[in-house]
Amino acid sequence: MREMVKGSNVALADLSENAGSVIVSLSWVSPTGEGDADVSVLLLDANGKVRSDGDFCFYNNPVAADGSVQLLGKTPTESGDEDRISFDLTAVPSGIDQIVVAASRYEGAGFGELEDLRVTLADGGGESLLRFAIDDAGTVSAIIFGELYRRGEEWKFRAVGQGYDTGLAGLATDFGVDIEDDAGTEEASDGTGNGEHADTAVPAPPAEPQPQVMPGLVPTPRPPVDEAGPKKAARPRTAKKKVTVPKVARKSLADNESWKEARLFPVSALKSDRDREMRATSVLLSVMAQVPEFGRRLTAAFGAPAGRMETFTEVSLPHGDTPRRPDGVIRVERAGKLWTALVESKTNGNDLKPDQVQAYVDIAARRGYEAVITLSNDVALEGSPLVDVKIDGRRKHKVALRHLSWAEVAYQAQMLIRHEGVGDKAHAWLLQELLHYLRHENSGCHGFQNMGSAWVPVRNGIDDETLCQGDRRALDVVESWERLIRQICLSLGGELGQKVLPVQRAKRGADPTARRSRLADQLCLDGRLQAELRIEGAPGILAISADLRTAKLRTSIEIPAPEQGYPLTWAKRLIRRLAEAPADLHIETLIEGVAGGPRGTLERLRPEPADMLPKNNDTQITGFRLSLLKGMGSSRGNAESGFIRSVDDAVHRFYTTVVVHLDRPTPRQAAAKERAGTG
């Protein structure tokens, strides 16, 4: 990988022969786990200006009209998460000479409060080509990380690192985006502009790309959500309305519940795992081909271009003496060029077979295909591959091996039909039928559902204190726990239409295997599995702790004390906000320099909020910790009494009964908390 310095440039063709499609990733680390930024892309003409406001891609306009740019959203990494952007350089209109990649912060926050800012670029095969780190961000609220630009017939990348004090609006104005005076007012009155869960949907790439004129498209930085809760997000006035399914089902015309609604994809007749694999693959690939927004959403991150997609099942391909039949093939055509991926899928608890995947990688390399995509209920972790596959470095043609979990497929479908919208009612109905199929108990596509064979021995070893540090089984449980947390993020995020990501506090470059080994040793010592989730719009980090000694699950959140007012007023206000929260909710007052402050259950504190306050009036209250405890499932599976179901239920219950009632953080609180984390 080439390390870039500020101002340097390089031709992409010098780094890879597969640079027609690239993935640009912007990342940073927040010391508090709560800091974040929004990415944006500007397509500029020869004069360094956008042709129209439609050439500005950001959280309310995530896809270019011609499909050449798509914001893919955030992906968890070992040190936090990163924003990924897909560029199909073959689809960029000839009138575009330069593409600017930037990020901006909001609510008065600056990039100096974040650490390890960097941009990386990978080719269509997933191979990382270059990296540029920004070390001097300072207090700026927007930064141009880099730019892609034409030189003759080739594309080059330049490391920029230029900052703006005026944020997203100032950056956009410099490049000719027309920001109307009422843009900020319109967004504040019509919605919060909360990025990826806005009502504005990802538009499908049209057959004949035309610049999309959207006057007043660019909002001012996102305003905070007020006490009335989130409102409907603003939509560009010229944008076509997108279709979502009703959140409340219509009244059925059936006589009684025994009448089963007819479904496009029947599932009840499936008898074997092979039947389930064939049906699930066929259902998914057919919907991907018929709903362009959905197909593009799933394949853009794998380097697929924006173009006409066709999908196939049970294709026979020669391989030695015995032909191989991958479960599916995805083919995308763009400007006469083909992008092809082989698909291998598994359902229920069936694992991917290394020899099978290896054969498909070899076939793809030999035939010049671009990718092999695996599908299963398992969740891939960085540094812990699901299958060991050898890539022949001597081959000129590189094949990307990518993995999708069925939970991620369901998440992307749910985001489109519940929150972002699709082009028409038929597309929305197809996605709804796909979701119904995936969620059916007989589909075998229910996501991560087994903590593994090490779960019971580790739990028993913790009970009788015989589990020793260095035991491989503890590491297996830690990896299963990480997979479970990532699946819970997808499930909760799909329901809320908001970004939900695991918080990783590891430093950049930390070895993921070494980090998990430390967590496994800690599990052997204290018998606890712990995780943190960052939920967009929540006033703090949601913490999860599973105590295997006591078989208890604890979900909690720490909220900062208000900037102004009196402690008794704070206590009374908090109790009022929690009027509908569970009576057994634990509330603890956090005091500066003191390990534990006053605490009690909500039931006891409701008549006497003053009991939350310390006796010494000179002590400084820094915040409050809210916690719920519940019993932990014991079995390793996803049954009603299983551990996986109990963790999922605990997180959803805590969010829906506690977190939703809390005040959102003000800009001053958020910025102060980050500064404290960097100090």
Question: For the segment 330-371, what is each residue's pLDDT rounded down to a tens digit?
Answer: 999 987 889 999 999 999 989 999 999 999 999 999 999 999
DSSP 395-449: -SS--EEEEEEHHHHHHHHHIIIIII-BSSHHHHHHHHHHHHHHHSTTSS-----
Give the residue among 564, 567, 547 at the shortest CA–CA distance from 555.
547
Q: What are the backbone angles phi and psi of residue 356, rounded to the nearest 5°?
A: -70, -45
Above 90 in pLDDT, residue 203? no
Residue 468, Cβ neighbours under 10 Å: how many? 10
Cα separation of 150 and 9, whole Å?
A: 12
85-124 pLDDT, tens digit each = 999 898 899 899 999 999 998 878 889 888 889 999 998 8
pLDDT of the residue at 230: 44
476-500 pLDDT, tens digit each = 999 999 999 999 999 999 999 888 9
Sorting pLDDT into bands at 50, 70 and 90, what band is 462?
very high
**Tokens matching residue 190:** 């019509």
Tell me the whole-structure pTM to 2 decimals. Answer: 0.77
pLDDT of the residue at 396: 56
Above 50 in pLDDT, residue 613? yes
**DSSP character at residue 318:** -
Residues 6+ apart with CB under 8 A from 7: 158, 159, 160
Quick one: residue 336, left, alpha or beta (phi over 0 = left, psi -120 to 50 = alpha)?
A: left
Cα separation of 17 and 437, whole Å?
A: 40
pLDDT of the residue at 395: 60
Above 50 in pLDDT, residue 635? yes
Residue 651 CA to chain centroid, in angstroms? 17
Above 60 in pLDDT, residue 453? yes
Give the residue among 287, 249, 310 at the shortest CA–CA distance from 427.
287
Burial class from Cβ neighbours inside 10 Å (0-12, 13-18, 19+) for residue 213 reads middle
Residues 6+ apart with CB under 8 A from 128: 1, 120, 121, 122
What residue has token string 């969740």? 379
Sorting pLDDT into bands at 50, 70 and 90, what band is 579?
very high
pLDDT of the residue at 215: 37
Sorting pLDDT into bands at 50, 70 and 90, what band is 391?
low
- CA distances to 212, 223, 349, 595 from 193, rounded to whole Å, are 20, 8, 40, 39
Sorting pLDDT into bands at 50, 70 and 90, what band is 224?
very low
End-to-end alpha-carbon separation of the chain, Å? Answer: 33
Cα separation of 500 and 654, whole Å?
A: 14
C-alpha radius of gyration, the chain, whole number: 25
Sorting pLDDT into bands at 50, 70 and 90, what band is 392?
low
Name residue 381's beta-bridge partners. Answer: 384
- Of the ranges 136-140, 402-406, 426-430, 603-607, which one carries the lowest mean pLDDT score? 136-140
Average pLDDT over residues 143-156: 93
- Cβ-count burial 167-178 (b if 16+ within 10 Å, e if not): bbbebbebbbbb
Cα separation of 28 and 20, whole Å?
A: 26
Q: What are the backbone angles phi and psi of residue 98, rounded to the nearest 5°?
A: -150, 140
pLDDT of the residue at 180: 55
Above 90 in pLDDT, residue 288? yes
- Look at residue 247 and give its three-state secondary structure: coil
pLDDT of the residue at 256: 86
Q: Are 434 and 298 in contact (CB under 8 A)?
A: no
Average pLDDT over residues 153-181: 86
pLDDT of the residue at 205: 40
When mean pLDDT is compared over 186-190, 222-226, 344-348, the highest value belongs to 344-348
- Cβ-count burial 132-146 (b if 16+ within 10 Å, e if not): bbbeebeebbbbbbb
Average pLDDT over residues 60-65: 83
- Of the ranges 69-73, 387-391, 608-612, 634-638, which one carries the lowest mean pLDDT score? 387-391
Cα separation of 237 and 222, whole Å?
A: 18
**Tokens matching residue 351:** 């694992």
Residues 6+ apart with CB under 8 A from 570: 561, 562, 621
Residues 6+ apart with CB under 8 A from 182: 216
pLDDT of the residue at 618: 80
- Look at residue 503 and give its three-state secondary structure: coil
Above 50 in pLDDT, residue 514? yes
Q: Work out the mean pLDDT of the chain and round it to a whole number.
A: 84
256 against 492, higher pLDDT: 492
Average pLDDT over residues 665-669: 48
Cα separation of 74 and 58, whole Å?
A: 13
pLDDT of the residue at 222: 42
Average pLDDT over residues 238-264: 75
pLDDT of the residue at 212: 41
